[in-house]
Structure formats: C-alpha cells, structure tokens
Structure 1
Amino acid sequence: MILGRGISSLSAGEKLHAKLTQAGVGPKRLEKQGEVPASSVKQDRDGVVVTLSIDPKAINALIQKQEDKVNLKSAADFSDFLKNFHEELCDSKKDSKMLNELPESSDPARLDLAKQAANYILQTSGEPLAYGDVSAKNPFSALGRKTLSNIAFDDSGAYTSSERFVAFTEIEHRDQEFGKKITEQIATMSRKDESRSTLWTRLIQSNARATLLSEMSETERAFRGFGTEASERTIAAALKLETNGVNPPELPEYQNLREAKDSVLAAVTDTQGLVAWKMVSVKQLAADSTRLELIEFVSASKDATAEKNPPQEATAASKAPANPVSQAKASRWLSLYATIGAY
C-alpha cells in the first residue's frame, strides 16, 4: 500500500497498484490458477488473499509510450509463418501442431483466449472445433489496428501461432473493408471531376495509406515494404496543391482504428463468463466500478527456467532489481484479469 501521499498526487500506475492491493482472489480462483508462489501472495488485515506479481513502476512503464522498433527477423519470416500455418491447417485441421499451441501460463482466462483463437480459425474454415467448452468468437475483434499489428508480428512466444494468425486476418479484413470504401470515394470524386481523375485517385490513396501507417507497427511496415506516414503525408500535401483550393473529401471511417491513450492490453471477463482481449484505460481499471481479480506478468523469455516454471519466473522477473534486459523480457505484455460489469 502506498502511504504518505495524497491520492491525487499519485501516478496512474500507483493509483492502480493501490487499488490492486485491495483486490481479492477467492479460493476457487487460486485452485484454478494452480500453485501460487509464496513471494507473490499477500494477506491483508481482513484475511483476503491478494495475488500480485507487478509493481507501480512496471505499470507506469507499460502505459508510457514506448519506441516502436522494427523486428527485421519477424518481418522476413512472416510470409513463411503464414504459409506454414495454412499448410498445417489444410493437412491436419484441428490436429495441427501450430493450431494447438498454448501459452506459458497457468491462468484459465489466458488459456481460454488461446483456445478461443484456435476455435475461431476452425469455425471460419468450416471445421469442427478443437475445444468444446470454449467460445469460437473472435477474441481480437475489439482491439485497435496497432495492437493487432503488434500481436501478429510478435515472434517472442508471448502469443500462440493461432493468436498471431487471427490478429493478422483481422487486420486484413478491416483493411479490405476500408479499401472498398476508398475505391467508392475515388469513383465518386472521379465522376464529379473527370479531368482530374488521376489526381484524386493518387491523393485519396496517399491519405488512406497514411491513415494505415499511423496505426501500423514498424515490423508490419517493413514486411509490407511501405514508406513512412510522414512521407505519405508529404506526398498528399503536394498533391493537394494541384486541386486549386478544392479540399479532398474526408476519408471514410476505419473500424476500430485507434485506442484510448494510457491503456493496457487486458483479458476481460463479461457477466456471462466469456473472456476477450481489450485495451482498457488505466483510469477505468482504477475506477470503483471495476473489480480486479488478478494481475500477472507473463514473461516471454524462452530460457530453461521459464520453460520449467513459467509462473514463478514471471513473478521473479517482476520483483528483480532494475535490470534493463530482465525488465524488457518481463514487460513484453501485461495481462490483467478483470471482471468489468460494463462488458
């Protein structure tokens, strides 16, 4: 618990951490979670068990804007990843090895989300589901484009092959829908001004590509061989000068393009018990209306210790001294397991 400072002076991470120290984890939840490391279990004065494996500084680091660096290996290997996944799915269907990957986590919500991604793929392929007790709903439908891009091109092991594949297919679906609207807009402008049809086509396409690039990870950009958002904006600005003062039309809406600032990736459970990925603002997580059950770091490290004992490794990483390398491994992604009445 944070003492000696007024709540208004606390950072967003500290406020959330202060609330999490009051979050209860019931006995049934602990049984489903499996053995909980003693170092991550805390008991408050009311005898309620609280499971924490993160500190305020770690939360703050996650909600701060971090530099988006290109992963050249992931970009170079992504076509092969898609090809191999398709081939395994066609050959082995629900018995595909890649389809049946599960994350290094003992939390049932995290495992259900991975299984749900596999079920979604099988359902859209017209195949029997692999997991009868898990939903086949797309677990990524509520996420913004940039988050989907980060998940799809994350080859660290933090996400399963099924999850990466679903995230990418969701991007492709949304981009195609956006592309159809762009094509219609170009056709409309060309009919209105046939003499400058080529100009309107180039200008609208440049603005559309800049919109996609604004919510595209650097690794995806490298994979697609695109320029930068800044370069596309420059091209569009130059083309606009040729319209003789006629402003280009506002671009059509892109479904779930952006997410709120200061938000973290969370596994949320609705009142029906269904789980889904969602970017949730720290303010909402800290609100009185949000009941948090568990907060857990999941390390993407592939070393031997993590392989043998992932939950303990995750806790150790979050409590380790300030080491840039270990913090980078532990901070690849944060899973917040929450029950939020609004969902």
Structure 2
Amino acid sequence: MENGNRELEINSSGPIIRIQDVTKTYSADKSTLHALKNVSLDINKGDIYGIIGMSGAGKSTLVRCLNFLETPTSGTVTVGGKDLSKLSEKELRKTRMNIAMIFQHFNLLMQRNVIDNICFPLTIAGMGKKEARKRAEELLQIVGLEDKAKVYPSQLSGGQKQRVAIARALANNPEILLCDEATSALDPQTTKSILALLKDINAKYGITIIIITHEMSVVQEICSHVAILDNGSLAESGRVIDIFSSPKTKEARKLVLDDGEKIAIMKSRHCIRIVFTENSSFEPVIGNMILEYKSPVNILYADTRNINGTARGEMILQLPEKEETAQKMIEYLKERKLAVEEVEGYVD
C-alpha cells in the first residue's frame, strides 16, 4: 500500500501533530464544563501514540479536536504544519482525507457487504468503481479478510468487523489513523490480534497512529509514547517505557499500578517498586542484596509485562523497618541499574 495522498508534506524532524494550549468548554443551563484545559502535545510522524485516562478525562474530546470535528475553544491544532483553525472548509475537508478514524462500535454500513463498505469512501472521493474495487481487494488482503468480500457485517465477529473498519479507514491512504477506544468492545485475544495488525500497518506504511484508550495494557502493548489525561488536563506524557519505569504523577501511578491488590499494600512503610530490564533479569539481585545486608525483605508483588514488544519485570518490596538498612538496599539496587521508586502515598 503506497501512501499516495500527499496533502500533508511532513518534515520528518518535526511533529506531524502539534497541540498547543488547547482548551474546550461546553456551556449548558448556565454552567460551564471544561472538557480540556490547556493541553499541549507533540506527536511525531510514525509514532504510535497513546492517549489514556479514565471516563470523563477528555480523551474523546481531544481526538475530535485533532481533526476539528470539535473546534477548540482556545489554543491551536497544527497538522502537517497547517493550523487547522486557519483553513477554509474546503481545505479542512481535504486535510481530513489524511486523518482517518476507527471507533469502538465499528460504524459499518449494515446494508452493504464488506467490499462495498471499503469502497464507500473511495467512491465518495471520486474514484471509479473498477479502481475502487481493486483498491478494496488490496486492503482486504492487508487486514486478512480476502475471503470475506461478499459477507455482510452481521455475519462477522467483532474482530472481523474492526478489521473491515481498519481497511475502510486506510482506503484513501491517510497519514494519520485515530483509534477511539477501538478495542474496548473486543475480548482480550481479539484485542491482541487487532493491536498486532495496527503495529504491522505502522511498521510497513509509516502511518502515525493515535490510540485513545482507558486501558494501560493497550498502551503497553503497542504504543511508543503516551499522554495521560485527568479531568481534562494533561497529567504526564513521555515514552511509555519511561512512564512505566518511573511514573511521576499520582494519575500515572494509578494507571501503571492498576491492580487493586497492589494499591492496597502500598500503605506499608518502606515499600519500593523496582523494574527489571532484560539485561538486569539474569542476576539474582534480590537474593544477593539479602545476603549482603543480612536482612530479609518481603516480596509483596511480582509481575512481567510486555512493553511495546520488550519484557519488563516489576516487583514491589517491603524493606526492613530500620531506615539505614532500607536506604542502603535502595542504593544497592540503583547501583545495579534498576529503576527504583518508593511507593508510599500513591493513593489517598
């Protein structure tokens, strides 16, 4: 699949999307709702960028501001160097051709079969019927549904419907793909297959993908970068591996440490969270530390996660009550290049 639509002439060294101080407010019944509050983000070409937060955090509002389906109350959204607020309606429609979108509930045309669903945006764009059909057949191969061309959406599984929606979104060779809770209606195994497909599309065609989700597991599985929204504000942003290893804000910590059991034990004194990389997992660090300081530690939690294709282990340890011994153990772990952070006070 070639990326034939060149409306966005992107400088590869700069962001493909720049969001600057974006605020969105809604007024109703003499009250004002602040859906977004001074959000600023840079998203580079080729990123798989996650935007995460709980319900009501402002995620869907932000994604709709990215293509100006919602106009920000203040601030600017620049796509491919173009300030969307300064475009005419005709120019905006043209730019939107390069910003495709897929949704939680697929939004397929139920009265049309699979290939006609994919052809629909192509015919609207003025492509001839024969050429549109050929393009749709290519897209069905990309998403692994070449044998479903004549099938109707009601005959498909949820995962197959989302694959059709992805094929349709790719029809006009977009530079950017917005995914608004695209896996929320799917079971875990189907979610993994859809995320693998999106990752493959990103790698093969260089399409920038923005994932809107409330699930940290989705971000960890596929995203290179993440922005965490809380109550309309940007709480934290950066590389996924950095935020997983050392979340700086309470909102980030709650998402990284999203297990209720972990949250409960963090009120103990001298609890630390350590993160192992592949390189650090071969040495029996904890055992050696116990032998070194002749003092036991309590392992409260241990797990391994897949962070964008790389295994990362984590543990939560309760260190000895003696302050001097606890601090020496923390230094010991840091000297061995482990990410170490104290976890007291993560939750109210």
- TM-score, normalised by the number of residues in structure 1: 0.29
Q: TM-score with structure 2 length normalisation?
A: 0.28
Structure scoring higher RCO (CA < 8 A, sep ≥ 6) equals 1
